[in-house]
Amino acid sequence: MAYEIGGRADKYGNRFETNWTIRKLLEVIEEKIESVTIEAIGDDEKGADLWITYKDGVRESQQCKGRNGSHEYWDYGTINSKNIWKTWAYQLERSGSVIVSLVSPLNCTLLEDIGNRARTNGQDPSIFYKEQILKSGTDTRRFFNNACVGLGLDINHEEDIARALSFFSRIFMRQVTDGEMKNEILGKISSLFMGNPETVYRIFIDYILNEDVYGKAF
């Protein structure tokens, strides 16, 4: 279901992104991840709302989308309309230790399926394409072909099949609903801080929205 039209849509979308940011900051406090950078600058800015750095040095470019217009899911075209494929390709080309993700309450089943196949492939591009893509259903093949175009890949070239395997193995969907995320945040706050969880939650919101936090790693 889409957000209400008008100013509320922006506010609900911003709330989703803010809640996700709080969730990630709490994971830093829990020492599950190394750091979070909000609205980075330079090359890191392209297509990223957050950058997550993991303990093993892997960095993740995350783009948050609370809704997709009136659509109940993401598909190739709606991802393309947000210019996401192009910015994903840019970030993935920068380093093999970079992964990218779309954070949303909505799913993209075909993208998740292809990504899972790439991550469990054993790094053989020929098997990935011939066995895991070409022998798939029509919808999967069509999505893969379109996504490769969006990512700037030519599947007629062996080297680009290898790049496709690398790219799809590093693309993730992070699906979480608004209500589920808020409850999880309050639960984490209760275990980490003394006092009223809602009060601490509002302090996090104020910190993200009103303090000079952009471009800094936390």
pLDDT of residue 145: 98
pLDDT of 13 over the 80 cut:
no
Rounded Cα distance, 117 and 50, in Å: 26
User: pLDDT tens, 118-143?
Assistant: 999 888 999 999 999 999 999 999 99
Amino acid in position 9 = A
Phi, psi at 197, each rounded to 5°:
-60, -35
Q: Which of 1-5, 14-18, 188-192 is predicted least confidently?
A: 1-5
- Cβ neighbours around 165 below 10 Å, total: 23
Q: What is the mean pLDDT of the chain?
A: 92
pLDDT of residue 6: 45
Token digits of residue 158: 């062996």
pLDDT of residue 3: 41
pLDDT of residue 4: 44
Q: How confident is the model at residue 212 (pLDDT cuts 50, 70, 90)?
A: confident
User: Which residues, other chains included, contact 10 with Cβ-Cβ below 8 Å and sequence gap of 6+?
Assistant: none
- What is the three-class DSSP state of 122? coil
- What is the three-class DSSP state of 217? strand
Beta strands, E only, 23-177 = 35-38, 50-53, 59-64, 98-104, 171-175
User: pLDDT tens, 147-196?
Assistant: 999 999 999 999 999 999 999 999 999 999 888 899 999 999 999 999 99
User: pLDDT tens, 24-63?
Assistant: 999 999 999 999 999 999 999 999 999 999 999 999 999 9
Rounded Cα distance, 28 and 24, in Å: 7
pLDDT of residue 173: 97
